[in-house]
Amino acid sequence: MIFTEAIFFVFLAAVFTAYWLLKNHREWQLRLLLVASTIFYGWWDWRFLLLIGTVILISWITAQQVSKRQENAPSRRAWLIFGITSSLAILGVFKYFNFFADSSIAMLQAIGLTPSAGAVHILLPVGISFYIFQAVSYIVDTARGDLKAENRLSRVALYIAFFPQLVAGPIVRAASFFPQMDRIKPLNRGLVAAGLRAFLLGFAYKAGIADNLAQFVDPVFGSALVPNDADLTVWSNGALVGASLAFAGQIYFDFVGYSLMAIGVARWFGFYIPKNFDYPYASTNIADFWRRWHISLSSWLRDYLYIPLGGNRSGKVKTYRNLMITMVLGGLWHGAAWTFVAWGALHGLALAMHRALFVGKSRRLPAILALIATQLFVLLAWVPFRAESFGDTIIAWSAFVGLRTGGPETLPWIVWAVPILIILDAALGHSRLRRLARSSLIRRPIIFWGGLGVLTATLFALYPLEAQPFVYFQF
């Protein structure tokens, strides 16, 4: 069930109505959300429910056991290790088994051995990376004493499986979510308006823009939907650069779109989920980029990986090492392929270089130059993220600098207009224009309802009749 599909709207309407009919029965409201989340996730494949159920049980039991024990008790540490490693082991098996098995076989073949390849291929459960990270953060926060272990299994289950952000984030912290389960919010105009604004903007990003950009990216970089797509050599240099540009736009509008829709849907049920993006393509250095891109993941990596590794407290070399480890693992989190590892490593390297050259120093690049350099790096780094192999990555990078003879296939001119959409989006998000949106003129009923009519008609025309899954579902 994808947020842009008709069936989701039917589901949402039913759950919304039932939820607010139960407005005087908080526990029933929460149970309803849990049932709805179960249906939502089981819609993909009912077998996934067994897996998420296991993750929920592990988190609940671990948190209970950890909180019962004294801080220095060895059994407490044992429970903590059990909880974290078993959660990560589930992620490892379901997400990375095929990757490591294939990589091992390739390595053995490279040294002349011919291993008998098993035919085991494990299905990747949608959203597993997101809910495992939520489960781990719950266990760790409980162990750190930042959070009281929740006795009710159903509440832990709802925290991990809450359907608006279950399959592609944002990764919500337990400390922020649990108190909201006890907080009763009335259904009012403000709640509906906030949800509608976020959902509509997200829908415009996803259905109006991202899905339309996919048609220029998939034929070049490959997609399960496009057969015979693997050969990049048929594309001209311009097409490869254009497709990279289109992908930069696609992944941004797709993921921001999903996050906003998740935030909007959660608001309609009275839950607040913090924003996940803050116009990252307006950032003027790579550290700034990571403060604005997939904020819930970057802060998770910071709090549960970078800082426990030592962060920046143990000297320069260890700081760079920690940055590299964090970003390489962050890359691997995105997908079980060496190209994702390379993407993470590139960002780790860029963060380390930025730290070495600029942090704590007085030197600064002119803002426009810093913006261009940062975004050019981000664009180039998207290539291995999207390409299916290192070979494809090299071909596409070569196209950027004209180091290859281009093929005959070209892309339409509109791919060069992607920066217009990104700049327009950033401009519209600028605080001055946002203030304008709050002006009394904009808030006149005729402007709102008329504007909604125009937007609806526009989104109808842009709506992809064959709904495309969100890019981040695969992560």
Partner 1 sequence: MYTILLALSCLALIGAHFLRLPNKSSFIGNVLSFSAALLLTTIGIRAITNASGVGRATQFDAFVNRAALIAENSDAPLIVFSGASFSRNAIDDDRLTYILREKGYPHQAINISLEAASLVERKMYLDALIARSSRAPDIMMLEVAQITDTRPTFIFNNSKFSSRAINQFNVEGVLWSTAGLLEDGCSGLVDCAKESVFLGAHGLVNVFNLGLVSQGKTLSHEAPQMSYDGALEAKETIDGTDRQHGLTTQNLVSPRAAHNWARSLRAIQHRDILAAGTSKVGYYFPPVISPGARAYVADICAGELADYTCIAPTDPALLAKLDADVWLDREHLLDDGAAVYVAWLADQLIASGILDEAAPQQEGAQK
Q: Which residues contact partner 1 (rule: CB under 8 A)?
A: 189, 192-193, 196-197, 200-201, 203-205, 208-209, 211-212, 412-414, 417, 420-421, 424-425, 428-429, 433, 436-438, 442-465
Residues 322, 327, 328, 331, Cα dihedral to 10°:
160
CB 294 within 8 A of CB 274: no
CA 471, chain centre distance (Å)? 9
Q: Which two tokens stand for residue 77?
A: 């540490």
Considering the complex, state which of residue 391 and residue 450 has its C-beta at the smaller distance from partner 1.
450
Half-sphere exposure of 210 (CA within 13 A, CB side): 24
Considering the complex, state which of residue 70 and residue 439 has its C-beta at the smaller distance from partner 1.
439
Q: Which of 222, 135, 167, 143 shows the shortest CA–CA distance to 42?
A: 167
Considering the complex, state which of residue 81 and residue 193 has its C-beta at the smaller distance from partner 1.
193
- Least CB distance from residue 298 to partner 1, whole Å? 24
Considering the complex, state which of residue 292 and residue 355 has its C-beta at the smaller distance from partner 1.
292
Lookup result for tokens 């990764």: 171
CB atoms near residue 36 (< 10 Å): 23
Q: Which two tokens stand for residue 90?
A: 């589930």
- Least CB distance from residue 441 to partner 1, whole Å? 10
- Least CB distance from residue 379 to partner 1, whole Å? 20
Q: Which of 138, 161, 162 shows the shortest CA–CA distance to 63?
A: 138
CB atoms near residue 96 (< 10 Å): 17
Strand-pair partners of 10: none
Q: How far is Cα 285 from Cα 215, in angstroms, rounded to an integer?
A: 30
CB 241 within 8 A of CB 399: yes
- Least CB distance from residue 430 to partner 1, whole Å? 10
- Least CB distance from residue 381 to partner 1, whole Å? 25
Considering the complex, state which of residue 122 and residue 193 has its C-beta at the smaller distance from partner 1.
193
Q: Which two tokens stand for residue 21?
A: 């009919």
Considering the complex, state which of residue 78 and residue 437 has its C-beta at the smaller distance from partner 1.
437
Task: Please report, as a single letter, which amino acid is at residue 5.
Answer: E
- Least CB distance from residue 51 to partner 1, whole Å? 33
- Least CB distance from residue 208 to partner 1, whole Å? 4
CB 331 within 8 A of CB 344: yes
* Radius of gyration from C-alpha coordinates of the chain: 23
Considering the complex, state which of residue 119 and residue 465 has its C-beta at the smaller distance from partner 1.
465
Q: How far is Cα 412 from Cα 415, in angstroms, rounded to an integer?
A: 7
The contacts of residue 176 (CB under 8 Å, 6+ apart) are 272, 274
Q: Which two tokens stand for residue 314?
A: 């143990």
Task: Kindly write down the DSSP assignment for every residue of 69-114, as one continuous string.
Answer: S-TT-HHHHHHHHHHHHHHHHHHIIIIIHHHHHHHHHHHHHHTT--
User: Which three-class secondary structure state does DSSP give residue 137?
Assistant: helix
- Least CB distance from residue 406 to partner 1, whole Å? 21
Considering the complex, state which of residue 16 and residue 304 has its C-beta at the smaller distance from partner 1.
16
Active site residues: 334
